[in-house]
Amino acid sequence: MRIGILTSGGDCSGLNAVIRAAGISLYNNLKGVQLVGIPEGYGGLIRGEGSILGRDDLAGILDKGGTILGTSRQPFKQMEVVGDDGESKLAKMVRNYRAMGLDCLICIGGAGTHKNAALLKREGCNVVGVPKTIDNDIYGTDVTFGFQSAVEVATESIDRIRTTAESHSRVMLVATMGNKAGWLALHSGIAAGANAILIPEMPLHEDRLCKFISERKALGARSVIIAVAEGAHLRSEAGLKKKQRSFVRTERGETTITNHLAEYIEEKTGYATRTSVLGYIQRGGAPCAYDRLLCTRLGEAAADFIAEGRFGVTVAVKGNRLVANELEDIAGKYKHVTRGDRMIKCAKELGIFLE
Ligand code: F6P
């Protein structure tokens, strides 16, 4: 059996741990297996590239950040667009899947990766997905790998930012990643004792936040720490698409929400306000122990599905069990933070500002 494996979309901690677990499990439990590593996500499949990943290649990578296969983003919208050569990217992938003699392809990635995997399934390829992303926003799974490692990094960073904020008696806006969903800002914000958390699911009214800051300062607090998800936005920006939102912000002479809020807060409250964008440090480096275990379980489960001939699914976590979700049932959907989420309730009861 020839099994392809690729990592696609934005990277995160734990990709190599999944490759390792899936590969070792396949080699140990299926006779005559060949694991073919496809470089740079669907990009490699489009170009028809791949090379054998032997047992030796899988050694020593459990705790290695990034991905030994490399990754790339392949926008879903362009998959079926026919190029100058008369063939779409999807058609090329299907042709190369067959030319490479693959019996199955393991697609490790986020929401976009799963949408593309569903297209491959539709075209008759055997695919098994594994849910990755620091955003934790893949529909149908309680958790994605990479998320907890990112929470650890963001939490430690906010802890550090608080000490300098306390020294200088400042308001600090800390931007985490999370474009569509606010899980990372919510979890790291609560874990680091942030005073306010701003997420895309709960559009913000700036004056309410300023009132909260002034009240907290009046009570004698030296610092106000605000965890801001990258995709958080104002009520006045709700309903705008990402591109329209950046257009509106550019018109105002601002780039990001933190940028806007820093100026607004300083002007309205008079308190010195600074921003800190955590950025890619949340995606890099070794996976935490929780993710190493999760990745190992997910990779092994993907290998089990292949052994059982269970294709066209992605591995998902439900409670403490690993289950299979049909790709077409989850593709194109997102798991958002809801107002009823128990973490939201917990944060509100602790007096954390949330819209
Ligand atoms: O991995 C998901 C994510 O972290 C989003 O939160 C963010 O918008 C995006 O990746 C940015 O990644 P890149 O710059 O690599 O496209």
**Total count of residues recorded for the chain:** 355
Task: Report d(CA 54, CA 293) in Å as an integer.
Answer: 22
**Residue 249 scores a pLDDT above 90:** no
Q: Whose CA is nearest to atom 4 of ligand 1?
A: 177
Rounded to an integer, what distance in angstroms lies between the CA atom of residue 242 and that of residue 302?
34
133: CA distance to ligand 1 center in Å?
A: 9
Closest residue by Cα to residue 228 from 272, 265, 179: 179
| Ligand 1 atom 8, closest CA | 179
At 254, is the pLDDT very low, low, confident or very high (cuts 50, 70, 90)? confident
Distance 10 CA to ligand 1 centre (A): 6
Query: Which is nearest to 304 in space by CA: 8, 28, 13?
Result: 28
Closest CA to ligand 1's atom 16: 10
Indicate if ligand 1 lies below 6 Å from the C-beta of 146: no
Per-residue pLDDT tens over the stretch 119-143: 999 999 999 999 999 999 999 999 9
In whole numbers, what is the pLDDT of the chain averaged over residues? 97
- 70-128: pLDDT as tens digits: 999 999 999 999 999 999 999 999 999 999 999 999 999 999 999 999 999 999 999 99
Percent of the chain predicted with pLDDT > 70: 100
Q: Ligand 1 pocket test: which of 135, 144, 243 has the largest number of ligand atoms within 8 Å of its C-beta?
A: 135
Give the pLDDT confidence of 26-36 residue by residue, as tens digits. 999 999 999 99
Question: Is pLDDT larger for residue 269 or for residue 239?
Answer: 269
- Residues forming the active site: 135
pLDDT digits (tens, 9 = 90+) for 308-327: 999 999 999 999 999 999 99
Of residues 254 and 30, more confidence is placed in: 30
Q: Please, what are the domains in the chain? A: 2-145+287-330 (3.40.50.450), 150-283 (3.40.50.460)
Mutate to test the pocket of ligand 1, among 177, 187, 246 (most ligand atoms within 8 A of CB): 177
In what side-by-side order are the strands of the sheet with 104-109? 51-52, 34-37, 2-7, 104-109, 127-131, 313-318, 321-326
Apex CA 214: angle with CA 208 and CA 218, to 5°?
145
Asked whether 134 lines ligand 1 (CB < 6 A), one says yes
Spacing, Cα 279 to ligand 1 middle (Å): 9
Tell me the whole-structure pTM to 2 decimals. Answer: 0.96
Q: Which of 73, 179, 335 to mutate to test the pocket of ligand 1 (most atoms within 8 A of CB)?
A: 179
Taking residues 16-27, report their average pLDDT. 98
Confidence of residue 253 (pLDDT cuts 50, 70, 90): confident
Atom of ligand 1 nearest to the CA of 178: 6
pLDDT at 246: 87
Mean pLDDT of 152-176: 98
pLDDT at 242 over 90: no
**What is the reported pLDDT for 89?**
98
Answer whether 10 contacts ligand 1 (Cβ < 6 A): yes
CA angle 313, 316, 318 (to 5 degrees): 135
